[in-house]
Amino acid sequence: MSTDEPPLPDPQTLFEGAPCGLVVTKEDGTILRANLTFSYWIGFDSDALIGRRFQDLLTMGGRIFHQTHWAPLMRMQGSVAEVKLDLVHKDKHSVTMLLNGVRREHASGAFYELALFGTTDRDKYERELLSARKIAEDLLREKTAAETALQQAQRELNTAYEKAKRRATFAEQMVAIVSHDLKNPLTAIKMASDILARGEHTAKHVKMLGHISQSASRAERMIADLLDFTLARVGRGIAITPASVDLHAFVSLSVDELRITFPEATLLHQRVGSGSAYLDADRAQQIIGNLVANSVAYGDLKQPIIVTSRIEEDQAVVWVHNQGAVIPASLMATLFEPMTRGTTDSDARSVGLGLFIVREIARSHGGDVAVSSSAEEGTTFDVHFPNIQI
């Protein structure tokens, strides 16, 4: 050993101050020696421990374990390792320790050399591990339950989706069938009324025939609206076939036809700008018809209904203006939703789908519709069509 190294403590000091409890006993457990560390841990003086049996320091459970387990092991195999025992402190509370022991033969007999370690930090660590494991297991159970619930919800959603799809398809088919079946008798009614109107009739008969023709036309519009509504609701949208058209010419033609349909109203057509528009003329004519029907139903028929067609650089615009009652602000947000405005007893209205279909046709063109309404300016519906090929 180098003379420069500090000297080690003497064996007595090492024994007494060891970082673990050290106890030497006879085979029957009588304590021959105990260091200060062990004495401090259980609250006894070292001298008070001499002559006591080690097993008497144990709890009842520890004594049973001593008799049945680790004492026989010491006799048979000569050692034990990491045996967990509860010792009784002088103040009567339990102190948990881990025991390592060996049996050694000496000239004077066999002795047990015991090393005991405090478990406070180890127990805390084990509790933290158990707590973490419990949290992990709880999270796993929650995750499994959530995944199971999600799968069940997904199955229910898929089932509901399939049912809804079947219902939508059925509704679409029913509306198409009914629309087709109703068109034939309506066409027959209109043709018959037109033929009858060609002859000589009294004023009363002429009026009645006019009512028949107007009612048949209104029923045709209702059927067309219902079919368009169904197509829009099931997600297919309203089909369009756009082409380059003379905006002013077809709007003028539409207004002429609507004068016949609504003889009680004064319809005026205004033109702004020049050029062609790229849109589906039939669908655009349907927009004008629905907006004029709306104006007839809610506007002041003593004032003219003005239809304006306007060509701008990047869009075509159709305005329909009427004077009448102001649309309440509370209705503006839902005005273009189906069946949200109007009365069911109006002869000019259909089933409350006109404005909804106006919006859907405009959007099918890539455009939209807006409305403004005031007591001073009246009510104006403004439909924009992008003047580009979509």
For the chain, give every domain's residue range.
11-118, 125-232, 239-386
70-121 pLDDT per residue, tens: 889 998 999 999 999 999 999 999 999 999 999 998 888 899 999 999 887 7
The predicted pLDDT at position 231 comes to 62
The identity of residue 314, as a single letter, is D
Supply φ then ψ for residue 371, to 5 degrees: -140, 145
| Segments in the chain forming alpha helices (H) | 11-16, 36-42, 46-49, 60-65, 71-77, 120-198, 203-233, 247-261, 281-298, 329-332, 354-364
The predicted pLDDT at position 347 comes to 43
In CATH terms, the fold of domain 239-386 is Heat Shock Protein 90 (3.30.565)
Matching CATH topology for 11-118 and 125-232? no
Summarize the confidence of residues 318-338 as an average pLDDT: 89
CA 26 from centroid of its chain's CA atoms: 74
Q: How confident is the model at residue 367 (pLDDT cuts 50, 70, 90)?
A: very high
Is residue 288's pLDDT more than 70? yes
pTM over 0.85: no
* Candidate from 127-131, 141-145, 188-192, 372-376 with smallest mean pLDDT: 188-192
The predicted pLDDT at position 381 comes to 95
Is residue 341's pLDDT more than 70? no
CATH 1.25.40 fits domain 125-232: no
Is residue 11's pLDDT more than 80? yes
Q: How confident is the model at residue 37 (pLDDT cuts 50, 70, 90)?
A: very high
The predicted pLDDT at position 79 comes to 94
Q: How confident is the model at residue 343 (pLDDT cuts 50, 70, 90)?
A: very low
Give 359's contacts (C-beta < 8 A, 6+ positions apart). 336, 368, 369
CATH superfamily, region 11-118? PAS domain (3.30.450.20)
Summarize the confidence of residues 237-258 as an average pLDDT: 88
| Rg from Cα positions in the chain | 49
- Using alpha carbons only, give the angle 354, 265, 339 rounded to the nearest 5 degrees: 20
